[in-house]
Amino acid sequence: MTRVVTLAHYYTQPEIQQMADKVGDSLELSLYAREAKADIIVFAGVRFMAETAKILNPAARVILPDAQSTCSLVTQTDVAALRRWRESYPDHVHVSYINSSAEHKALSDWIVTSRNVDDIIAHLYEQGQKVIFSPDRNMGAYLNFQYGYDMPLWSAVCEVHDKFNEAALKEAFAAVAGDKYLIAHPESPLPVLTGADYVGSTSGMLNWIKAYQGAPSAVIFVATEDGILYNMRQARPDLDIRQAPIYAGCQCNSCPYMKMNTVEAVKRAQRGEGLEIDYLSAEQMDAARLPIERMLEFSQ
Ligand code: 13P
Ligand code: SF4
């Protein structure tokens, strides 16, 4: 019998998360994919995540439900230009966010996710290394600001998180009379992050919500993709959790690529139809695996 394992990122719709064997953030899903005893791994997420699963578990067939599920951090990065940029810093360590293509990963010394990026870069600085960071400009700018680093940054953004802005948040905060909080994903712009009570990965924000012990009437604004609000409200139905607005009155910021994972597309993928990640050569996968494994070893 064909063993099918379905993975779903927090940003997918509730009905997709309910079809999954494992729901999680990028790091959790990568670790789960690596250990999965499966003939087919269906990755209800975006393409770079499915590629990472294939790189970590090459024996499994990995299927992405919709071939168009990409990520703006990948499409805004021209790999030939990235190679030239990387070569212009020969004495630097190249740290890349996991939201990158397999080719991009192969040009990196370390891969990080939003969960372990602070610790890995701190570790490199403690060793006296010089670091360049790609592709997320917002995340890099936040790390430079927060820790006083001077990392040269590649310049791509998440088209979803980049829309959060200080002006809309100020307006939303002003409309709440009582306590209010902002928690934010580090792909958001710097002025949003510097005004946040907590900055962290999708799992980090979910844990913050679970552990919340402040006033029960407080409003908690969340600057990230709307899919995870389902998990947050399930965990704490007692709280007033709202997506941060991108303009007045709007709680409507979602990732078009994550939302391509429809019930029908996931069902088809579970039958082995969809975009199979079978186009990476063994050499490409080996080169991309090295910096990912370095991260997984560090994070375990
Ligand atoms: P996480 O690593 O927090 O799961 O985020 C992935 C992502 O694509 C955020 O936009
Ligand atoms: Fe990429 Fe942004 Fe979508 Fe995450 S939310 S997959 S970073 S486009």
Q: What is the DSSP letter of 159?
A: T
Ligand 1: residues whose CB is within 6 Å? 25-26, 99, 113-114, 158, 185, 187, 201-202
Give, using CA atoms, the residue closest to atom 2 of ligand 2. Answer: 158
Tell me the average pLDDT across 135-159.
Answer: 98
Closest-CA residue to 35 (of 274, 296, 258, 276): 296
**What is the whole-number distance in angstroms between the Cα of residue 186 and the centre of ligand 2?**
12
- Which pLDDT does position 19 carry in this prediction? 98
Q: Which amino acid is at 23?
A: V
Assign domain 161-243 to its CATH architecture.
3-Layer(aba) Sandwich (3.40)
Specify the pTM: 0.97
- DSSP H/E element including 40: strand 40-44
Which ligand has the shortest distance to the CA of 136?
2
What is the reported pLDDT for 105?
98
Q: Which ligand is nearest to the CA of 254?
A: 2
What percent of the chain has pLDDT above 70? 100
CA dihedral 250, 233, 26, 38 (to 10 degrees): -130
Distance 143 CA to ligand 2 centre (A): 19
Closest Cα to atom 1 of ligand 2: 71
Which of 7, 47, 72, 99 best tests ligand 1's pocket when mutated (most atoms within 8 Å of CB)? 99
The torsion defined by the Cα of 182, 185, 186 and 190, in degrees rounded to 10, comes to -40
Q: How sure is the predictor about 53, in pLDDT bands with cuts at 50, 70 and 90?
A: very high
pLDDT 10s digits, 248-274: 888 889 999 999 999 999 999 999 999
Cβ-based neighbours of 209, under 8 Å, separated by 6 or more? 183, 220, 232, 235, 236, 239, 241
Say if residue 117's pLDDT is above 90. Answer: yes
CATH classification code of 4-70+258-278: 3.40.50.10800
Tally Cβ neighbours within 10 Å of residue 168.
Answer: 18
pLDDT for the residue numbered 140: 98
CA of 128 to the centre of ligand 1 (A): 28
Enumerate the β-bridge partners of residue 64: 275
Q: What confidence tens digit (pLDDT) does each residue in 155-171 have?
A: 999 999 999 999 999 99
Nearest atom of ligand 1 to the alpha carbon of 202: 3
pLDDT attached to residue 144: 98
- Is the ipTM higher than 0.90? The answer is yes
Write the single-letter amino acid at 82.
L
- Listed in order, the ranges of the chain carrying CATH 3.40.50.10800 are 4-70+258-278, 161-243
Q: Among the atoms of ligand 2, which is closest to the Cα of residue 257?
A: 3
User: At residue 300, does pLDDT exceed 80?
Assistant: no
Contact of 162 with 184, CB cutoff 8 Å: no
